[in-house]
Amino acid sequence: MNHSFPNSHFLADVNWLQENLEDPNIIILDARFDVRANADGSFSEIRGREDYEQGHVPGAQFVDLQADLANPDDPTAIIGPEGFSGLMRSLGVNETSCVVVYDARGGVWAARLWWALRYYGHENVKMLDGGLVAWQAAGLALEAHSPPAKKPGSFISRPQPHLRVEKEEVLAAITQENTCIIDALPTPFYRGLAGLYPEHRKGHIPGAHNVPAEANLDPATLRIRPMQELQELWAKPGIRPEQRVITYCGGGVFASFSLFVLALMGHENTALYDASWMEWGRDETLPVETGS
Residues assigned a catalytic role:
249
Q: How many CB atoms lie within 10 A of CB 256?
A: 28
User: Cβ neighbours of residue 261 under 8 Å, at least 6 residues apart?
Assistant: 216, 224, 230, 234
Specify whether the CB–CB gap between 48 and 32 falls below 8 A.
yes
Dihedral angle computed from the Cα positions of residues 251, 255, 256 and 258, in that order, rounded to the nearest 10 degrees: 170
